[in-house]
Amino acid sequence: MVGPALGAIAGELRDGDELIVVDNGSADGTPEAVRESAPRATLVEAGENLGFAAGSNRGAAISSGELLLFLNPDAVVATGFRDAIEAPLAAGRGWAAWQGLVTADGGRTINSRGGEVHFTGIAWAGGAGEAIAQSTPPTGERARMASGREASPKRPSGTAAAGFEPGFVSGACLAIPSGEFDELGGFAEDFFLYQEDVDLSLRLRLAGGRLGLEAGARVDHEYEFEKGPGKWRRLERNRWATLIRTYPAGLLGLLLPALLVTELALVPVSVAGGWFTQKLASWIEVLRWLPRLRRERAAIQATRRVTPAAFARSLTADLDSSYLGAAARSRVLRALLRAYWSGVRALLPG
């Protein structure tokens, strides 16, 4: 139910702020909850499930504010959230987009302190499952300073991690100036669900934008990874769509052997996990999408303002997520991936 999230965010708003709720044809009483918990909100009843991307675009299209904030319907903001999430804009940090610190379990653990993107396009929520007091922005190979240098020593996630730049910003709590969002054309609506925040973040990077984490803006998110086998089809389809749309040609060419090996490796993984038919469906959909993806790629790559090497700095070689099972625990695989990625980066221009 959206009621708790609505009540929390409505209590944070100031005069002049807008609250827009897009109901994607829900059957859980969302319109009634909006009228009860946030009567001043603008309710958009789509009449069907448009998906997260299209629903978000629909809401953004009727907003008039300088700063857009996208929140999942099960994300409950903490006290003081409104001022904290606006702070990067007010302070002129120059971020193209940022996220709050997304927690879980009533604020006891991390859901996302900024997403991470593997060079194969596999993406996950950074820090998921870590205790709040122990969670830190990643360092070493898995993180870069906004300037492109290696990250500084670990810092507690509860502080404003001004020097830490996530691989992508989470759509669960994503802030972006409306001008940036409009210039990009919003989220990729054909994605429907999953990876649209990764794609948006990488398009911002390609155009020279920087991403950020405003750890002072906290929001608790009821998150479960398992959403049925259909999730894998969309994840894999949209991963490939993101690769095709956003990766510079030089990088994509150097990564092709690794991408092909990844596809082969995912066959037995998907069979064992019971989602091989979904993996097969993702291949078919990508092939059907290919003519459109090539047109979209041309338009997106025309906006590129960074070198392939600079774009690659935001990617990681480490499959460092509990969601990835044995692959994340294998030291041999980690060593091989790091060696391969080091070779790729050495060959990239710029």
* Res 26: pLDDT: 86
- Residues 205 and 244 placed together within one structural domain of the fold: no
**What letter would DSSP give residue 168?**
B
* Res 225: pLDDT: 62
- Residues 9 and 28 placed together within one structural domain of the fold: yes
Residue 226 falls within a domain, yes or no? no
Nearest to 246 by CA among 305, 199, 208: 199
- Residues 179 and 320 placed together within one structural domain of the fold: no
- Residues 167 and 249 placed together within one structural domain of the fold: no
* Res 164: pLDDT: 81
Between CA 139 and CA 141 the distance in angstroms is 6
* Burial 93-105, CB ≥16 within 10 A → b, else e: eebbbbbbbbbbe
- Residues 206 and 244 placed together within one structural domain of the fold: no
Residue 240 falls within a domain, yes or no? yes
- Residues 88 and 236 placed together within one structural domain of the fold: no
- Residues 212 and 247 placed together within one structural domain of the fold: no
* Res 323: pLDDT: 78
Q: What is the pLDDT along the chain (350 residues), one digit of tens a residue?
A: 677 889 899 999 999 999 999 999 888 888 888 888 888 899 999 989 999 999 999 999 999 999 999 999 889 999 999 999 999 999 999 999 999 999 999 999 999 999 999 999 999 999 998 998 655 454 434 444 333 333 333 333 433 455 689 999 999 999 999 999 999 999 999 999 999 999 999 999 999 999 999 999 999 998 666 666 789 999 999 999 999 999 999 999 999 999 999 999 999 999 999 999 999 999 999 999 999 999 999 999 999 999 999 999 999 999 988 778 888 889 999 999 999 999 999 999 87
Between CA 291 and CA 278 the distance in angstroms is 22
* Res 137: pLDDT: 54
- Residues 319 and 244 placed together within one structural domain of the fold: yes
- Residues 205 and 256 placed together within one structural domain of the fold: no
Nearest to 87 by CA among 99, 102, 70, 71: 99
Q: Which residues, 6+ apart, have CB-to-CB distance to 44 below 8 Å? A: 20, 21, 22, 23, 58, 59, 62
* Res 148: pLDDT: 35
Between CA 335 and CA 328 the distance in angstroms is 11
Domains held by the chain: number: 2
- Residues 72 and 151 placed together within one structural domain of the fold: yes
CATH code of the domain in which 139 resides: 3.90.550.60
From 221, 253, 278, the end of a domain falls on 221
- Residues 197 and 270 placed together within one structural domain of the fold: no
From 203, 221, 239, the end of a domain falls on 221
Q: Angle between the 276-301 and 230-246 helix axes, to the nearest 10 degrees?
A: 20
- Residues 270 and 239 placed together within one structural domain of the fold: yes
Structural domain including 296 reads 231-347
From 186, 221, 256, the end of a domain falls on 221
* Res 160: pLDDT: 42
Phi, psi of 227 (to 5 degrees): -130, 20
* Res 28: pLDDT: 82
